[in-house]
Amino acid sequence: MTQSTIVRWSDPKVILVATNLVEDHPFMLHAIYQTALSRAKVLLVHVISPFYLSTEAVYGTPSVQSNLVVRNARAKLDELAAEFRWEGIECEPMILNGLPEEQIPLIVKSRIVDRIIVASRAASGVERLIGGSVAEALISGVEIPVCTIGRSMRPDLVCATQPERILLATSLQPESPMLVSFASRLAELHHSHLTLLHVLESAGMTWQERELARFKARQKLSGLIPKEARHRHRPVLLVAEGDTKTVIPDVAGSTTQDLVILGGSFPSLFSWMLGTSVVHRVIVEAKCPVITIKSPARSATERPFLRDGTDAGETLAHPIGCTEEAVSGR
C-alpha cells in the first residue's frame, strides 16, 4: 500500500455510485454532497440483471429482452445524472448487463475508480440468502473503499458539507497502518475529530492483565498515527472492553459520528445471511455512512505494523497522556 493510494482514496477523483434506481432520495443527496467534497467525477452505474437477458441464436451474446426495460432505466438514470450536474458535478451515466457483483469490479479496475457509494438493504435471513446484497458483495469483492449508506442514517447528514467526527474501529491487525493512515488523512482534509477505537476482549484477565493490555493497546494506537499528520484536533484513543460484535456496533450506532471506517477480514456468507457479522451490524445500525476497506493480499515476507512505534522500537508519534476518552455527542 503506497502513500499515493491513501491520498487518492481520501481525496477521490473518480467515484462510482451504484444505483438500482429505487433508492430513497436521501441516498442520492448524500452521494451528491460526498462527491462535491472532492469535486470528483461520478460514474453513475446501473446493472440490468440477467433475468432480463436472452441469448441471440446468431452470435450467442446477451441482449436485453425488452427495449422498454432499457429505455425506462436510461430515462431514470439520466434524471439522476441531471441532479449531479445541477450541482456542478461531472456525471457519466452507465447501464451494464449482467450481475452487479461481477460488472462493477470490472468498471472499478478499467476506470481507476477511487471509491464506491452504494445503498444497503435491510434484508435478513432467507431473503438475504436468496437475494443477497450488492453492497455486501462489493465490500468483500473490491480493494477500494466502499461507502455504504444505511437506512438509519441521520437526516442532518444529508446536507452536511464535511464530516466533523470520524470513528475508525481497528483490530490492530497487519492492515491497521493502512486504515489509520486513511482515516488520519480524511480527518486532516476535513479538519475532523478522529477517534481510534480498539475493542479488548478481556474475559478471564485479572485486573493487572487488563490494565497492561489496555496500556499496550493505547501505545499501538498512538504509534499507528502517521508522524507527519497535522490534525486540527488531537485524535482520541478509545480502548473498550467486551465482545467486538456488540461493542463496535453499539459505539457506531449510539454516538454522533459523521463517518465510520471499518477494515480487516470480511465475513462468510453464513454470517452475512444471519446478519451476525460486525460489518453487517454496523452498517445496519450506524446513523452515518460506513466506509469499509478490504484487507489487501499480503505476501509472506511483508512485515506487519510498519507504522507501529511500539513494535518497531521507535518513539511514539503522539504522547499518550490522558487520550482515552468516551466518545461524546456534540
Which residues in 303-315 are b (16+ Cβ under 10 Å) and which e?
A: eebebbbbeeeee
More confident residue, 312 or 101: 101
Strand partners, 292: 146, 262
More confident residue, 5 or 313: 5
Q: How many other C-beta atoms lie within 10 A of the C-beta of residue 283?
A: 27
pLDDT for position 175: 84
Dump pLDDT digits (tens) for 262-287.
985 555 444 444 455 788 888 888 88
Element (H, E) at 100: helix 100-110
Which phi and psi (to 5°) does residue 237 adopt? -105, 115
Least confident of 73-77, 135-139, 208-212, 253-257: 253-257
Please tell me the pTM assigned to this model: 0.81
High-pLDDT (> 70) share of the chain, %: 75
Instruction: Say which residue, 290 or 327, is predicted with more confidence.
Output: 290
Distance CA 180, CA 199 (A): 15
Under DSSP, the state recorded for 143 is S
> What values do phi and psi take at 100, rounded to 5?
-55, -40
CA distance 134 to 43: 16
The answer to whether the beta carbons of residues 50 and 98 sit under 8 Å apart is yes
Q: How distant, in Å, are the alpha carbons of 296, 298, 306 from that of 301?
A: 14, 8, 13
Residue type, 56: E
Strand pairing category for 62-64 and 53-55: antiparallel
> What does the mean pLDDT of the chain come to?
80
- Which pLDDT score is estimated for 152? 78
The pLDDT of residue 26 is 85
Residue 5's contacts (CB-CB under 8 Å, 6 or more residues apart) are: none
pLDDT band for position 202 (cuts 50, 70, 90): confident
pLDDT at 318 over 50: no
